Chain A
Amino acid sequence: MGDHDLRQPPEANRFIGRSVKRLEDPPLLAGRARFVGDLNFPGQLHARIVRSPVAHGAIVEVDTQAAQALPGVVAVWAGDDLQHLPPIPFRATAIKGLTPYCQPAVARGMVRYVGEPVAVVIAEDPYIAEDAADLVMIDIDEHEPYLDAACEPASFAPSLSCEPTVIEKGYGDVDEAFSTAFAVVELELKTGRHSAVPMETRGLLARYDTARDVLELHGAAKRPHWNRDQLADLFKLSPASIELYENSVGGGFGVRGELYPEDLILCHAALVLKRPVKWIEDRREHLMATNHSREQTHRIHAAVDQKGRIAALDETLFHDQGAYVRTHGARVADMTIGLLLGPYRVPAYRAKAHYRLTNKTPAATYRAPGRFEGTFVRERLVEAIAVRLSLDPMEVRRVNLIASSEMPYERNLSALETDVVLDSGDYAGLIEKSLAFSGWDELRREAERRRAQGESVGVGFGLFVEKSGLGPSELVEMRVEADGSVTVVTGAASLGQGMETAIAQICAETLGVDYRRVRVLHGDTNRIAFGFGAHASRVSVMTGEATRRASEIVRTKALEFAAELLQRHVNQLEIVGGVVQDGKEGPSVTLADLARQLHPASPARGDREPGLSASAWFHNKHMNYPYGAHIAQVRIDQATGHVAVERYAITYDVGRAINPAMIEGQIVGGLAQGLGGALFEEFLYDQSGQPLSVTLADYMMVGATEMPPVDVLILEDAPSPLNPLGIKGAGEGGVTAAGAAIASAVDDALQRPGLVDRLPVTPQYLRRRMQQYDEALGSLSGQGAP
């Protein structure tokens, strides 16, 4: 028996890196899961939110009399009745001046987007609540809406502009680089308003337990502990008097689990009425009430030399936040410019992000926030540089890549309140592997052949750097139960991504048990004091490493105790399948036995600390940076402007793959959302600020017929040096470069370099843009992209 190298566990304990079946599945498949809508408490009431029908205006009157008179209605509250409710808080960052722009729980005085809560109806039955909501009469004096964040900001309130802040980042002498540049390439690009739209809408069930003086909020997700602490603060309660519970969660992707007006309204209603109050968002509400994302206009300039080497970038962006600052503050705008540079070396950089409030649904983070947008911009720019200098875009990428020998690479930029330090990566290697994997050269030849036969077929490429593993900390508490099963408690959360399985795999391999004997509990503020939730591709890294550490401690305890009981040296023992043994023939003792003998009342325990258990923290100041490439093949019907995606390949280096099938699932599922944002999905508004995308028939998500076959190559070439397993998160890379790769493929298919200048590439846009491009080309008859 030697020492137990982590990477060489006995075969029976090998769970990391295996595509084992998910622990989460059986109840979900059988209809036995419990989503918040499935949860009911005796005596519960139902809330319905009355929402503003206009985008911008002053409230003259909210008449609730008729609604209140309807039998079965318990309460109707308008803004005046809820004045004491504080506005929605946001996570503190270095960006100042956002406070006056926070959203009130229910509108007071002004309404600023269609869908803003104006009144609340509480009734005995959800159908009655909906009837009563129709009887609330709202009189609003309409004002001109502000709908284009790239235009001069309007006024938000007396002495407050619709531009709360302009974020600036940069380093180096940008002006000098531009004045001496061989060429300057400039682009204006736009990403459409797009968001998560999980299949389960939001929902909450608040209950005030008068016996225990505890406010319970069911339907929590993503960041239960942060939300608990904020709610405690807002309602002037001890955090110990608020409990948040996560149920089965029908997808989050960034938008679910933030504090919204409804969270405050529901908690207030339960506290005042002392009856459980339930609210389930309907889909129309969801599309106008839950966070939007992505809408930005970018003006970017690159100073380059004749080989296409970037000397400086100068970027100005206009971020359309929608009507109010919500929980993320200005993070998406901040992150876009903080992470814009991706895998490229940029000697000088200047970026300005105009964070502006418009009369639309408020926005925040959505899967790959700032990176989907930034990758589109950066990769469009690289291709524009290639066109300008008549170079191969892949060559322009190569000459600008940061080399693996330069890692860790300090950007001198910040994002998400941390310094951006690229931890590891072989970007050049990944490009070569992705080209070989997808058969790039053959794809190009085939597209050319088909174009020669009259089809509009093209292939496109997008290179990206993601980020993951946001700290600052995570805690795991672990114990071996008397039956030998292992309980892992974490303050992280699950949004359906399979974290229970991944965490169980790490515990199982490190400790020496079957992963099916590991039960992972999460999303319950009552079970663990601290937690940082599930977002920013952090769970596998943060909870994963805390789990590995706790497992090591439990393992050591088990081995030491067993050594004493079995009269062996610790080094002679191993733990396999939950049994501590000296080889297969030697004496052994189960973890269950050890746990029982460590019971506080067990005489065998002696002076040992009770329980076969441990808790462990993982603290992490820096994010890590997975990276990858998307390759798309599209066919375009020029008559209709329809873009069909025929094939797709994604290569992604995640450092260490815990469960490859689940990672592939994240990537392919992410791509479905990325293709939505690249081609179909957009929250549109008319000139008066009326939302036009309020059903799933108007907001077009990718279905089975739009989704191409996808090949996925998972790489482990650059493990993160920031955690011992080398893990980088894998939740977002399927989305990140979809816009970039599709734009590149559409350009190629139509043989019009630089054609695509906005997302989504809808048929209407594409036909209009081709006409504009061809007219400009005719009048220019010069070089380069119009």
Chain B
Amino acid sequence: MERHPLNLTVNGKPYAVETEFRKTLADTLREDCGLTGTHVGCEHGVCGACTVVVEGKAVRSCLMFAHQAEGMEIETVESLEKEGELHVLQEAFAEHHALQCGFCTPGFLMLVKGAVERGEELSDAELRHLLSSNLCRCTGYQNIIRAVRAAIDTFKEKASAVPEAAR
């Protein structure tokens, strides 16, 4: 099959690659961009391990072709850690023991990143509903729920600690 040039913007960085039209975004991120933090768990859109953020929305990267993402802003788990410092959400996952094997973790982080950064007020049912997009086989979700709650609170605190003028 023929390969076609493709320009992707991932985590703010340009990637010029050549892929077949049929290649998924997940495989392209992993193999052509070298960003292996995005994991492939089912390749049929159920488990959510491959969740990335495209144009601000959580997306199953196994259900999107890479060529469909041309010109869009793509964010992967690798974008969260800044200069060796973990994101508030990542810290919360470690603090609340919200991961075991860690294979599904990048997908969960990208799934809830938006809600955390927007400081969304989620009821327990709403949060569970959001998390039900993805599967985890190790934790039983209880600690993921705790971690996301804590991250939302911390993020809000940090945001409100910034003086008005600096916002």
Interface size on A, residues (CB 8 A): 57
Q: CB distance B90 to A29 under 8 Å? A: yes
Q: Is B142 at the interface (CB under 8 A from chain A)?
A: yes
**CA separation between A200 and B43, bound complex, in Å?**
11
Q: CB distance B36 to A199 under 8 Å? A: no
Q: Which of A374-382, A444-452, A696-704 forms contacts with chain B?
A: A696-704
**CA separation between A710 and B77, bound complex, in Å?**
29
Taken residue by residue from 125 to 167, chain B's Cβ proximity to chain A (1 for < 8 Å, 0 otherwise) reads as 0011101101111111111110000000000000000000000
Residue of A nearest to B40 (CB): A37
Q: Which of chain B's residues have a CB closer than 8 A to the CB of A33?
A: 37, 102
CB-CB contacts below 8 Å: B77-99 with A: 77-78, 80-81, 86, 90, 93-95, 97, 99
Q: Which of chain A's residues have a CB closer than 8 A to the CB of B132?
A: 703-705
CB-CB contacts below 8 Å: A424-477 with B: none
**CA separation between A201 and B62, bound complex, in Å?**
15
Partner of B42, one of A127, A283, A665, A734: A283
Q: CB distance A250 to B140 under 8 Å? A: no
Taken residue by residue from 16 to 30, chain A's Cβ proximity to chain B (1 for < 8 Å, 0 otherwise) reads as 000101101110111
Q: Which of chain A's residues have a CB closer than 8 A to the CB of B93?
A: 25, 29
Q: Which of chain A's residues have a CB closer than 8 A to the CB of B103?
A: 35, 198-200, 248, 250-251, 496
Q: CB distance B37 to A32 under 8 Å? A: yes
Q: Which of chain B's residues have a CB closer than 8 A to the CB of A662?
A: 97
Q: Which of chain A's residues have a CB closer than 8 A to the CB of B67?
A: none
Q: Is A296 at the interface (CB under 8 A from chain B)?
A: no
Taken residue by residue from 31 to 70, chain B's Cβ proximity to chain A (1 for < 8 Å, 0 otherwise) reads as 0000111111111101101000000000000000000000
**CA separation between A32 and B36, bound complex, in Å?**
8
Partner of B77, one of A24, A30, A248, A697: A30
The minimal Cβ–Cβ distance linking B92 to chain A, given in whole angstroms, is: 10
Taken residue by residue from 662 to 677, chain A's Cβ proximity to chain B (1 for < 8 Å, 0 otherwise) reads as 1011001111110000
Q: Is A564 at the interface (CB under 8 A from chain B)?
A: no
Known pairs A29-B109, A199-B137; A22 contacts B94 (CB<8 A): yes
Known pairs A28-B102, A35-B103; A283 contacts B140 (CB<8 A): no
Partner of A704, one of B22, B23, B30, B128: B128
Q: CB distance B94 to A29 under 8 Å? A: yes
Partner of B78, one of A31, A35, A709: A31
Q: State the main secondary structure of chain A at its contact with B.
A: loop
CB-CB contacts below 8 Å: A723-765 with B: 734
**CA separation between A199 and B48, bound complex, in Å?**
10
Q: Which of chain A's residues have a CB closer than 8 A to the CB of B101?
A: 28, 198-200, 248-251, 495-497
**CA separation between A600 and B135, bound complex, in Å?**
52
The minimal Cβ–Cβ distance linking A649 to chain B, given in whole angstroms, is: 13
The minimal Cβ–Cβ distance linking B96 to chain A, given in whole angstroms, is: 8
Partner of B94, one of A25, A284, A495: A25
**CA separation between A704 and B77, bound complex, in Å?**
21
Q: Which of chain B's residues have a CB closer than 8 A to the CB of A664?
A: 97
Residue of B nearest to A670 (CB): B140
**CA separation between A710 and B40, bound complex, in Å?**
29
Q: Which of chain B's residues have a CB closer than 8 A to the CB of A32?
A: 37
Q: Is A38 at the interface (CB under 8 A from chain B)?
A: yes
Q: Which of chain B's residues have a CB closer than 8 A to the CB of A19?
A: 97
Residue among A35, A199, A496 with the most chain B CB within 10 A? Answer: A199
Q: Is A707 at the interface (CB under 8 A from chain B)?
A: yes
Q: Is A661 at the interface (CB under 8 A from chain B)?
A: yes
**CA separation between A750 and B55, bound complex, in Å?**
49
Known pairs A127-B23, A665-B143, A696-B42; A30 contacts B100 (CB<8 A): no
CB-CB contacts below 8 Å: A497-553 with B: 497-498
**CA separation between A661 and B30, bound complex, in Å?**
33
Q: Which of chain B's residues have a CB closer than 8 A to the CB of A701?
A: 135, 137
Residue of B nearest to A671 (CB): B140
Q: Which of chain A's residues have a CB closer than 8 A to the CB of B76?
A: 31
Q: Is A143 at the interface (CB under 8 A from chain B)?
A: no
Q: Which of chain B's residues have a CB closer than 8 A to the CB of A704?
A: 127-129, 131-132, 141, 144-145
Residue among A28, A283, A671, A672 with the most chain B CB within 10 A? Answer: A28
Q: CB distance A695 to B140 under 8 Å? A: no
**CA separation between A283 and B103, bound complex, in Å?**
14
The minimal Cβ–Cβ distance linking A276 to chain B, given in whole angstroms, is: 15
The minimal Cβ–Cβ distance linking B25 to chain A, given in whole angstroms, is: 14
The minimal Cβ–Cβ distance linking B102 to chain A, given in whole angstroms, is: 3
**CA separation between A697 and B43, bound complex, in Å?**
12
Q: CB distance B38 to A31 under 8 Å? A: yes
Residue of B nearest to A673 (CB): B137
Q: CB distance A696 to B44 under 8 Å? A: yes
Q: CB distance A31 to B46 under 8 Å? A: no
Q: Is A282 at the interface (CB under 8 A from chain B)?
A: yes
Residue among A21, A673, A705, A707 with the most chain B CB within 10 A? Answer: A707
The minimal Cβ–Cβ distance linking A290 to chain B, given in whole angstroms, is: 13
**CA separation between A703 and B41, bound complex, in Å?**
15
The minimal Cβ–Cβ distance linking B43 to chain A, given in whole angstroms, is: 6
Residue of A nearest to B77 (CB): A31
Q: Which of chain A's residues have a CB closer than 8 A to the CB of B36?
A: 31, 34-35, 37-38
Q: CB distance A31 to B128 under 8 Å? A: no
Q: CB distance A669 to B140 under 8 Å? A: yes
Q: Which of chain B's residues have a CB closer than 8 A to the CB of A31?
A: 35-38, 76-78, 80-81, 106
Residue of B nearest to A706 (CB): B132
Q: Which of chain A's residues have a CB closer than 8 A to the CB of B43?
A: 282-283
Residue among B81, B97, B140 with the most chain A CB within 10 A? Answer: B140
Residue of B nearest to A34 (CB): B36
Q: CB distance A29 to B23 under 8 Å? A: no
**CA separation between A422 and B143, bound complex, in Å?**
33
Known pairs A21-B95, A26-B94, A38-B30; A705 contacts B128 (CB<8 A): yes
Q: Is B104 at the interface (CB under 8 A from chain A)?
A: yes
Q: CB distance B143 to A668 under 8 Å? A: yes
Q: Is A197 at the interface (CB under 8 A from chain B)?
A: yes
Q: Is B20 at the interface (CB under 8 A from chain A)?
A: yes
Residue of B nearest to A71 (CB): B1
Residue of A nearest to B35 (CB): A31
CB-CB contacts below 8 Å: B11-29 with A: 20, 22-23
**CA separation between A709 and B78, bound complex, in Å?**
32
Known pairs A24-B102, A29-B105; A496 contacts B44 (CB<8 A): no
**CA separation between A283 and B81, bound complex, in Å?**
30
Known pairs A30-B90, A127-B1, A705-B132; A697 contacts B140 (CB<8 A): no
Taken residue by residue from 277 to 310, chain A's Cβ proximity to chain B (1 for < 8 Å, 0 otherwise) reads as 0000011100000000000000000000000000
**CA separation between A413 and B51, bound complex, in Å?**
49
The minimal Cβ–Cβ distance linking B60 to chain A, given in whole angstroms, is: 12
Q: CB distance B138 to A669 under 8 Å? A: yes
**CA separation between A570 and B143, bound complex, in Å?**
45
Residue of B nearest to A710 (CB): B142
**CA separation between A127 and B32, bound complex, in Å?**
14
Q: Which of chain B's residues have a CB closer than 8 A to the CB of A37?
A: 30, 36, 39-40
Partner of B142, one of A201, A498, A709: A709
**CA separation between A695 and B138, bound complex, in Å?**
19
Partner of A705, one of B37, B47, B104, B129: B129
CB-CB contacts below 8 Å: A214-257 with B: 248-251, 253
Q: CB distance A22 to B137 under 8 Å? A: no
Q: Which of chain B's residues have a CB closer than 8 A to the CB of A253?
A: 137
**CA separation between A251 and B90, bound complex, in Å?**
20
Taking A704-B127, A707-B140 as given, write out 5 further A-B residue pairs in contact, using a Cβ cutoff of 8 Å, ordered by the A residue number.
Answer: A38-B36, A284-B44, A665-B143, A704-B144, A710-B140
Interface residues, chain B, CB within 8 Å of chain A? Answer: 1, 20, 22-23, 30, 35-44, 46-47, 49, 76-78, 80-81, 86, 90, 93-95, 97, 99-106, 109, 127-129, 131-132, 134-145
Pairs A-B, 6 closest by C-beta atoms: A31-B37, A496-B101, A28-B102, A250-B103, A38-B36, A704-B131
19 A-B pairs in the complex with CB atoms less than 8 angstroms apart? A22-B97, A25-B93, A25-B99, A31-B35, A31-B38, A31-B81, A37-B36, A127-B22, A198-B103, A250-B101, A250-B104, A283-B47, A498-B100, A664-B97, A665-B139, A669-B137, A669-B138, A704-B127, A710-B142
